[in-house]
Amino acid sequence: MRKNLLKLVRVKEFAPEAQFQDPCASFILPNVICSYCNDCRDLDLCRDSTLQGHEWRCAVPQCGQPYHREEMENALLQIVRQRERLYHLQDLVCVRCRQVKAAHVSEQCNCGGSFRCKEEAPQFLGKMRVFLNVAVSQKFELLQDCVRWILEVR
């Protein structure tokens, strides 16, 4: 069905426009532990309305204590650092034959195709913007400084 729908709008099946893009960018912070009641859960920083713009608190009704701020900020910072590192280590793939690039110096694949990043800059930076929004709304200053640098905004 997807093929037919795409045919209707005249988009090639494997073109970038055809890739599914989640309309609401989301990010899940895994294994967040409450220092008061030891509850452990994943937090969806974008989709969970209780987290938007408020101080983050434990969701357990009997607890409700705020999460440790510096711990949260650091958890996010480490994810940002890891993703940034991975950007520069990522594989390059041939646009034509999809093979992963092995050589360093060459600009063309053996099949004659050119290479592209597995994760391109606009996608990467889009994900980083989510972190910036969180940092601004939660007033995580160090995280803000770091993500601003990555996004090349002042």
Partner 1 sequence: HSHSLSPPPPSPMAAPSAAMRKKLQRKFRLRGFTLKVDALEEAAAFLARFPDAEDEALDLLLDELDKEPLKSSILDRDAVRRVVSLLVEAEEAVDAASPSATSVQSALRVVDSFVVPRFHYDPIKKVFYEHTGRLALHGEAGDKAALYRDRYQVLLQRLARDKYFSKPAFESVMTENESCEITSIQSLVGCTGRRWIMGVISQLEERQFYLEDLTGAVPIDLANAKITSGFFVENTVIVAEGELLSSGIFQVNTCGFPPLEDRETSLSLLMGLDFFGGGVIPTEEALRLSSLENKAVNDMFVILSDVWLDSYETMEKLGVVLDGYESVEVVPSLFVLMGNFCSRPCNLAFNSFEELRLQFGKLGEMIASRTRLKEHSRFLFIPGPDDAGPSKALPRCALPKYLIEELQKHIPNAIFVSNPCRVKFYTQEIVFFRQDLLYRMRRSCLIPPTTEETSDPFEHLVATITHQSHLCPLPLTVQPIIWNYDHCLRLYPTPDMIVLADKSEQKAFKYTGITCFNPGSFANDSTFAAYRPCTKEVELSALES
CA distances from 107 to 73, 90, 97, 103, 113 (A): 40, 16, 15, 9, 9
Is 75 near partner 1 (CB under 8 A)? yes
Query: Beta partners for 128?
Result: none
Write the binding mask 130 to 149 for partner 1: x where contact by CB under 8 A, - elsewhere.
-----------xx-xxxx-x
Query: Which long-range contacts link 19-28 to residues 24+ away (Cβ below 8 Å)?
Result: 25/126, 25/127, 25/129, 25/130, 26/130, 27/127, 27/130, 27/131, 27/134
With contacts defined by CB under 8 A, name the span among 1-9, 44-52, 56-64, 95-103 that binds partner 1. 95-103
With contacts defined by CB under 8 A, name the span among 1-9, 11-19, 33-41, 117-125 that binds partner 1. 117-125
Is 125 near partner 1 (CB under 8 A)? yes
Residue 20: CB minimum distance to partner 1, A: 23
Is 152 near partner 1 (CB under 8 A)? yes
**Binding region for partner 1 (CB under 8 A):** 70-71, 73-75, 77-78, 80-81, 84-85, 87-89, 92, 101-107, 114-117, 120-121, 124-125, 141-142, 144-147, 149-150, 152
